[in-house]
Structure 1
């Protein structure tokens, strides 16, 4: 087990970086790339992360590697239902849904608040508990303001060039 850290609202394990993102529940889809409606603020308590999630939003995880030659792995599971998913980096960079026993994709949302996350980057490995809270409850726990409610439509991607 390797030590991981929270740098701002980004999870860091060796050369692997992970950030949670918000999207309006009505704009969530299980396939394709999702756009971020904003980064999710995180609060760490021991080996656990706590994140706000409103009833009308879904979360997705974005991950990347600092080194082009590195490899990484991200797994997420929901304790009560057994839903799970994973990605291998650098081939994939988004984890947008949890799959049920029959393979049906489900959003990462407040209805499934207790999650387990496993990260690996080379020999480094970390198991992290992730709990989702209603924004007001998260604010009381973290001592930080809750994120603003999402307003649609989703933001446009940045212009390049």
Structure 2
């Protein structure tokens, strides 16, 4: 079974913990695979199904927040996920305001309870979407947002390895 066991961690995370036990050739092949998965940022415009200008501006705001955190965090592959979050967030806000209005107008208890269930369902959808695109604290902790090291520090023992013929 190919998907059993632990989830593979990105090579950068493994290297930061100094737990990489693979050859340099395997490292390069893995870096190439990870770079191909990353995606581009050529088409980050709001999708057409975001109908109102309010939704489009919220989409652009979230994309800019994610891109400010890291260039790798939001790519073309994430456009639909961010758009779904924006739509679900809008539905949650609408459900919350309708529930507040119903409580102010002292509607029937049955109506208020059904509206509360709708609001709770909308909140669960918003929360799930927020986690999937990294807008919650827990989700952000999963990401390795450090930039890759450009040059490695000098190995203090390199001169001894050269002297011993290694």
For the aligned pair, the TM-score class normalised by the smaller chain equals under 0.3
Select the structure that is richer in strand: 1
Select the structure that is richer in helix: 2
The structure with the larger Rg is 2
Q: Which has the higher contact order (CA 8 A, sep 6+)?
A: 1
**Normalized against structure 2, the TM-score is what?**
0.22
